[in-house]
Amino acid sequence: MCITLGYAQPKEGIEFKLNTISGIILDSLSSEPLMDVDVDIFTGNGVLKHSTITDENGFYTKNIVGYLWKPKIRFSMHNYKTKKFSLNPKHLDKKNNMTVNSYILPVPENQRIPDLTKSTITKRAETFFIVGNIFYNLIDKNNAERIIISSAKAIEPRDGFILMKINDLHYDVARCYVPQEGKYENLSYILKSLLNEPIFEKSGNPIYLSENYLDPSIIYGKVINISNGMPVMGAEVILTDPFKRRISDENGQYAFQVDKPGNYELTINPPPYYKKTNVSIPTILMKYGKGGWYKSNFYVRP
């Protein structure tokens, strides 16, 4: 993957035709694809010409851009540092299309702007429920279920009391266990200073979920066509030690189950008519054998 850094600038006064511009935007620290990044294209004198946003795979595209004079592109997202640089006509292909992939840098935690439209307690609770990640719901004293988060919202029916709405179902915060430094910690215990009632104390539940309740760790991800953001079926993804192999499905997805801590290396053999790029997280450090949920996408090019 070629990451355009914006150091090479077009010559003064240059105008060129751009049919389609597309690319993938990743978090510079984690290499995770970023959804809902604003992508804006400006002329040289600062006039906004086109806008779009990235999808769940971090992919964006804008068709029939037209003639542009000294154009610039800007990537912006809440709590990420804005990135803006000039587009270089040297990056055009034979059809006057351009691929611009980029990393953007998250703002440090202590400098982030809070969402003032939510109360402190709901905002704080929602930070533990990231779409694509997991949490555990304690069903009873002997069982807990692992839940993959598709949507999450904290609801405050009365002051100082909340429920979690996850995947359109409601969950008691005293039964929710969220990942904290390799363990799963009770959400009502974490939030006890913000709750009006001693919910955690009344529940009798443990602060941390016992490892006996946890499922084996999972390494998962997608194989994505970096040119159009579409999933790629038929790629061979290999876990080198212990040796395991998976073939990406029609959604480009693969997954491995592992049960021991350690360093795990992944490699990929693209399907016919595709080749590798250098954007991936091929080595994963797993500190714990159970309860882990590790994502590693691969990007290939036709």
Fold of 217-301: Immunoglobulin-like (2.60.40)
Its pTM stands at 0.70
The pLDDT assigned to 9 comes to 41
183: buried, middle or exposed (CB in 10 Å: 19+, 13-18, 0-12)?
middle
- Do residues 84 and 39 make contact, with C-beta atoms less than 8 angstroms apart? no
Does 15-104 carry CATH code 2.60.40.10? yes
21-25, 180-184, 241-245, 267-271: range with lowest mean pLDDT: 180-184
Q: Where does the pLDDT of residue 282 fall: very low under 50, low under 70, confident under 90, or very high at 90 and above?
A: confident
Q: Where does the pLDDT of residue 12 fall: very low under 50, low under 70, confident under 90, or very high at 90 and above?
A: very low
CA 266/CA 270 separation, integer angstroms:
13
- Region 182-186: mean pLDDT is 90
Picking from 102, 15, 29, the residue whose alpha carbon sits closest to that of residue 67 is 15
Q: Where does the pLDDT of residue 7 fall: very low under 50, low under 70, confident under 90, or very high at 90 and above?
A: very low
> Do 217-301 and 15-104 fall under one CATH topology?
yes
Domain range annotation of the chain: 15-104, 120-213, 217-301
Residue type, 255: A
Please tell me the number of Cα atoms within 13 Å of 195 on its side-chain side. Answer: 19
